Chains A and B, each alone.
Chain A
Amino acid sequence: MSPLTILLLVEASAIGLILFGAPPKKVSMAAAAVNFLLSLWLYVQFPAGLGGYQFVESHNWIALSGLPDIRYHVGVDGLSLPLVLLTTLVTLAAVWVAPAQIKRAAEFYSYLLLLSLGALGAFVSLDLFFFYAFHEFALIPTFLLIGIWGTENRQFVSIQLTLYLGLGSLVLLAGIIALLGALPAGARTFDIPRLTEYLRENPLPPNQQLLPFALLAAGFGTLVSLFPFHSWAPFGYASAPASAAMLHAGVLKKFGLYGLLRVAMPLLPGGAEAWKPWILALLLGNILFIGFSTIAQKELPAMLGFSSVMHMGYLFLGLACWNVLGISGVVFLMVAHGLSAALLFAVAGEVRERAGEIRFSELGGLARRMPFVAVAFLVGSFASVGVPGLANFPGELLIFFGSWRSQPLFTAVVVWGIVISAVYQLRAVRSVFYGDLPQHLIQANDVEGSGRIPYMLLMAALLILGIWPGTLLGVVGSGVRGFLSLY
């Protein structure tokens, strides 16, 4: 029984307990805390030196002649462990931030835990079937979370989000099937390590890699809101309840990138190379097109939604350049963006709840009434803008260095993104927290007492990773080197 399975069981049993009447917030907080501590313990135990998968547990799930075998195969390496850590931390923060007496609390917390369970399952499983199935856990809970507890025009937004992600995951399913279909009968397996092993010895002929990679890239791209497939994300996050937005934008979105990193690019290098110009062009759309549209946003949550879509551009750049620097940057930035996006969405939730207002034109001077929330927003904003001393900077730096050698001019344009993000992020700080306090916001009060701890957790994580990236880069670096040495 690998500790990873324990992680999954803890969350699953928490959901069970909630459905049988246990107090929802307490149970989910307990489960999230246990999981976070367990993942920290895992991190400490993780032997950074050698690459390969640790804490492996594998049972034979289906082994029938004629059908690719499916195994319950869990394990983490330098790439997925940081994401597990991110998931457990953001889950703890998201559950903590959620109000205890929310309507239909049991359902709310069980859906939240389902989201987190889906992400966790996806990051630990090394079998394509479970990898895909776990992620899909989150589709309906997100729909219900946004639909029932969401805010303005939640009806339309949640349906659009669910259908869009449904389409994305089905395209992804087609991609997986195309990938497996392209292999000779004997080698067909859902097991990622064995697939990687096999495809390293005898890679598919390039023309056979085009269609599977295109489908996988489109599927993962939609789940990660790559440029043209992003319409679901910004307003989906804007009208989602704070905790759901934290989990979805912070954690679940990384599934697509992790998928590209673990499945699409290593198994189909020829396809990746062939489609690279397209991916580069699209990620430019993310950085510039979405970057500028973010500047024009008039509401705080929508702006944060757009901003999280814009940041995906960096991650795709890191993936496209496919070298140790780029990939380590991607893994690091995934964690960092997860933390900063979670923090910002939590603050947006607080502002919406305590000030009762989200439009920039109506807000202002909240720093006087809500100093702690202002500091949290400032830290989150500086992190997402990529200021050194906070986690995003090392990630972005590595990606820029990783991709500079192969396409300097292109990277230069992408680096301009740091100015765009500074423009819209500081505009938000200025119009929400600085300036004079309008009359109708006088009664807004600050987050008090234990409510501050989730924010402090996220801020501490951002600071620690920012000041000393070595804490994570040690694990990530060796993991990536081991990972890339396979190709």
Chain B
Amino acid sequence: MHEGLWMIAAPEVILVAGGVFLLLAESLAKLESKAVGVLVLAVHLIAGLCLLPFITTRAVIWDGLYTWDRFAVSGKAFFLVVGMLVTYLSLEGEAKVPAARAEFYILPLFCTAGMALLCSVRDFVLLFVALELVTVTLFVLVAYRRSDPASLEAGAKYLIVGGLATAFLVMGIAYIFGATGSTQFDAVAGFAESEGVGPVLLFGLAFLLVGLGFKAAAVPFHIWAPDVYQGAPTPITAYLSVGSKAAGFVVLLRVFLLPFWNTDFQRHWVPLVALLAALSVVLGNLAALPQRNIKRLLGYSSISHAGFLLIGVASHSFLGFASVLYYLMAYLAATFTAFLVLVLLEREKGGETIADLSGLAQRSPLLAWSMALAMVSLAGIPPLMGFFGKLLVFLAAWESGLHFLVIVGVAAAAAGIYYYVMVVRAMFWSDPVHQGPIAVHPATRGLLLALNVGSILFGFYVKPILALAAGAVVGSGG
């Protein structure tokens, strides 16, 4: 593969270039922050368009560091969508970010670039670099509102625990490199195939999992999640709960699909991941029950969804990995709807607790119904995407023999319905605390409708999304 294929890596290049250009432009020309936001959206669109022509190509470039296959393409598309949605959230939440200088819009560009890079990773070095690009940008974004102590506290916590995770990650990579003598995924796979899994390699795998566990916010590395979710500005919380988590799982899939795929490895990591999944599902759902602050509640909910996703990963089968991708798409739709409604509420001086949501159905049926559909989809009640995701994940786990895990998953999901229903209850039953209807920009109205209809439609007519997910997993052989 001659280096001329550089163009293929366009999305990352465009994003970074766009980011740098906008940073310069902003510092020189003092652009108004809303305009910058729109420009950022434009950059994302351009990157997306550049992606289209290369959908079917398959290539491994940069001396085996970077691969381009259907899995990577769908991953990049996913993260571009996430990027655009976060930017849109920031635009809507403009008022709440007082010192809203343009960086708040531009930084996510770099973060999205990092995530896109992660989708094509084939080497631990590139993995480390891309992961750190994402993490560090998120450190800054979480602590962006310097005037708000909560944001600062969240930033500090995220940074320290993040730092720890990075340290473990690097130590893991070091040991894997030490054991196999190479950082290439296929080399590691070859080594494991020939020499089997020695203690050093296992040690490396353990530390690697610690680092990735942090990213996915799975128990026991979830400690940061609730506080950071609550403290961070709402668009960034959305970004964390979807973008960063998805990045974690994309890497997990990449890592388990290629280097650690052979049965000898699986004998070690499958029970471990299954245990992590069970713990996350139980803790996520139980700890969310008494929560009153919605963002903190969604934090715990994201931990429980990390658990369900891990169930998919633990089933180490084609169906399992496809279900993880489908579940991520369902999770994307539901979470962003919820956060969009939250952002709109915050703009109307509404707080973040469930009580502030009360009576929303009478104030603005669209918002109430969007939030309700998001909650119902997260709770896994048909006919929404969330349900089909859970169905796939449980089916995959059961087929690969993890019967106990499915039972635990089902029980935790049942316990979980309570706090989703509490949100729905507050909105539909009680009378409004804050009076007056909520102004919703037509574009946002359109976006909400799209997310709602998507969530219902693709919950029933699952074929397109599922084909995308399955294709991606099949395509990731490279």
Q: Choose from A67, A133, A162, A177 the contact partner of B460 (Cβ within 8 Å).
A: A133
Mask of B374-393 contacts with A, CB within 8 angstroms, 1/0:
00100111110001001110
- Selecting from B133-141, B275-283, B423-431, the interface stretch reads B423-431
B462 proximity list for chain A (CB < 8 A): 61-62, 70
Residues of B within 8 A of A174 (CB): 394, 406-407, 410
Given A147-B425, A166-B381: A67 in contact with B322 (beta carbons within 8 A): yes
B399 is an interface residue with CB less than 8 A from chain A: yes
Asked if A471 CB lies within 8 Å of chain B CBs, one says no
Whether B410 lies near A171 (C-beta < 8 A) is yes
Report the bound CA distance from A198 to B429 in whole Å.
48
- The interface size bin for chain A is 35 or more
Contact assessment for B410 and A133 in the assembled complex, using a CB-CB cutoff below 8 Å: no
A140-B372, A159-B421 known; A170-B395 Cβ under 8 A: no
Q: A296 within 8 Å of B by Cβ?
A: no
CB <8 Å contact, B391 and A173? yes
CA distance A11 to B470 in the complex (A): 34
Q: A62-B463, A170-B414, A174-B410 are in contact. Are A181 and B381 (CB under 8 A)?
A: no
What's the tally of chain B residues with a CB closer than 8 Å to chain A?
41
How far in angstroms is the closest Cβ of chain B from A410?
32
* Binary per-residue interface labels of chain A (321-346) against chain B in the complex, 1 for a CB within 8 Å, 0 otherwise: 00000000000000000000000000
Q: A416 to nearest B CB, angstroms?
A: 36
Complex Cα distance, B467 from A244, in Å, reads 39
Q: Which positions 123-140 of chain A face chain B at CB distance < 8 Å?
A: 129, 132-134, 136-137, 139-140
Q: CB distance B391 to A155 under 8 Å?
A: no
Q: Chain A residue with minimal CB distance to B392?
A: A67
* Chain A minimum-CB-distance residue to B372: A140
Q: Is B398 an interface residue, CB under 8 A from the partner?
A: yes
CA distance A395 to B325 in the complex (A): 49
Least CB distance, A151 to chain B, in whole angstroms: 14
Which residues does chain B contribute within 8 Å of A167, judged by CB atoms?
414, 417
Alpha-carbon distance between A67 and B361 when the two chains are bound, in angstroms: 39
Interchain CB contact under 8 A, B421 and A173: no
B255, chain A: closest CB distance, angstroms: 21
Q: A67-B392, A147-B428, A173-B410 are in contact. Are A136 and B466 (CB under 8 A)?
A: no
Contacts of A64 in B (CB 8 A): 322, 466-467, 470
The reply to whether A137 and B392 contact each other, CB–CB distance below 8 Å, is: no
Q: How far is the CB of B384 from chain A (nearest CB, A)?
A: 9
Cross-chain contact of B322 among A66, A162, A163, A185 (Cβ < 8 A): A66
Instruction: Contact check, A170 vs B410: say whether CB atoms are below 8 A apart.
Output: yes
Q: Is A422 close to B, CB under 8 A? A: no
Query: Are A62 and B466 neighbours in the complex by a CB distance under 8 Å?
Result: yes
Indicate whether A140 sits within 8 Å of B381 (C-beta atoms), given known contacts A67-B466, A159-B421: yes
- B383:A143 contact, CB within 8 angstroms: no
Give the distance to chain B from A396, nearest Cβ to Cβ, in Å.
34
The distance in angstroms between the C-alpha atoms of A211 and B467, with both chains bound, is 32
B379 contacts which chain A residues (CB < 8 A)?
166
The docked-state distance in angstroms from the alpha carbon of A129 to that of B394 is: 14
Query: Contact: B382 with A133, CB < 8 Å?
Result: yes
CB of B387 within 8 A of CB of A136, answer yes
- Whether B429 pairs with A136 at a CB distance below 8 angstroms is no
CB closest chain-B residue, reference A136: B382
Query: Please, what's the 1-or-0 string for B44-88, where 1 marks a CB less than 8 Å from any CB in chain A?
Result: 000000000000000000000000000000000000000000000
The answer to whether B470 touches A170 (Cβ under 8 A) is: no
Across the two chains, which residue of chain B brings its CB closest to A171?
A: B410
Q: In the complex, which residues of chain A have a beta carbon less than 8 angstroms from the beta carbon of B414? A: 163, 166-167, 170-171
A133 and B463 contact, Cβ closer than 8 Å, known pairs A66-B318, A139-B381: no
Assess whether B21 is interfacial by the CB under 8 Å rule. no
Q: How far is the CA of A132 from the CA of B319 in the complex (A)?
A: 21
- CA–CA, A185 and B400, complex, Å: 11
Interface string of A209-233 (1 = CB under 8 A from B): 0010000000000000000000000
Contacts of B317 in A (CB 8 A): 66
Which B residues between 340 and 378 are near A, CB-CB below 8 angstroms?
361, 372, 376
Question: Does B403 count as interface, using CB distance less than 8 angstroms?
Answer: yes
Contact for B382 among A68, A132, A178, A181, CB less than 8 A: A132
Q: Are B466 and A68 in contact (CB under 8 A)?
A: no
Give a binary string over B438-473; 1 marks a CB under 8 Å from any A CB, 0 the rest.
000000000000000000000011110011001000
CA distance A170 to B394 in the complex (A): 11
CB <8 Å contact, B413 and A143: no
Q: Is the CB of B463 within 8 A of A61?
A: yes
In-complex Cβ contact of A177 among B391, B429, B466, B470 (8 A): B391
Residues of B within 8 A of A180 (CB): 395, 398
In the complex, A137 Cα to B361 Cα: how many Å? 19
How far does the Cβ of A218 sit from chain B's closest Cβ, in whole Å?
Answer: 11
**A132 to B394 CA separation, bound complex (whole angstroms):** 15
A162 contacts across to B, CB distance below 8 A = 417, 421
Cβ–Cβ < 8 Å partners of A134 in chain B: 382-383
Q: For the complex, give the distance between the alpha carbons of A148 and B426 in Å.
A: 11
Per-residue contact bits, chain A 159-191, to B (CB 8 Å; 1 contact, 0 not): 100110011001101100110110001000000
| A185→B317 CA distance, assembly (Å) | 13
Residues in chain A near residue B322, CB distance under 8 A: 64, 66-67
* CB <8 Å contact, B395 and A68: yes
What chain A residues lie within 8 Å of B203 (beta carbons)?
A: none
Q: Which residues of A contact B381 (CB under 8 A)?
A: 136, 139-140, 166
Q: Flag whether B418 is at the interface (Cβ < 8 A).
A: yes
User: Could you say which residues of chain A place their CB within 8 Å of the CB of B406?
Assistant: 174, 177-178
CA distance A65 to B467 in the complex (A): 10
Complex-state Cα separation, A162 to B392, whole angstroms: 23
Query: Shortest Cβ distance from A477 into chain B, in angstroms?
Result: 34
Chain A residues contacting B428 (CB-CB under 8 Å) are 144, 147-148
1/0 per residue, CB under 8 A from B, across A37-78: the answer is 000000000000000000000000110111110100000000
Of B361, B410, B463, chain A has the most CB atoms within 10 Å of the CB of B410
Report the Cα distance A178→B403, complex, angstroms.
Answer: 8
Contact between A177 and B398 (Cβ–Cβ < 8 Å)?
Answer: yes
Q: Is the CB of A136 within 8 A of B383?
A: yes
Chain B: which residue is nearest A139 at the CB level? B381
Q: Are A170 and B429 in contact (CB under 8 A)?
A: no
Q: Whose C-beta in chain B lies nearest to the C-beta of A106?
A: B365
- Nearest-CB residue, chain B, relative to A62: B463
| Cα–Cα distance between A211 and B398 once the two chains are bound (Å) | 12
Give every chain A residue within 8 A of B407 (Cβ-Cβ).
174
- Residue numbers in A under 8 Å from B391 (CB-CB): 129, 173, 177
Contact with B along A261-302 (1 / 0, CB 8 A): 000000000000000000000000000000000000000000
Considering the chains assembled together, what is the distance between the CA atoms of A166 and B378 in angstroms?
A: 13
18 A–B contact pairs at CB < 8 A? A66-B318, A67-B466, A70-B462, A107-B361, A133-B383, A133-B387, A133-B460, A136-B382, A139-B381, A144-B428, A148-B429, A163-B414, A170-B380, A170-B411, A177-B395, A180-B395, A181-B399, A181-B403
Contact surface of A with B, Cβ cutoff 8 Å? 61-62, 64-68, 70, 107, 129, 132-134, 136-137, 139-140, 143-144, 147-148, 155, 159, 162-163, 166-167, 170-171, 173-174, 177-178, 180-181, 185, 211
Other A-B pairs, 14, CB within 8 Å; known A140-B372, A181-B398: A61-B463, A64-B322, A67-B395, A67-B470, A143-B421, A144-B424, A147-B425, A163-B414, A166-B379, A166-B421, A173-B391, A178-B403, A178-B406, A180-B395
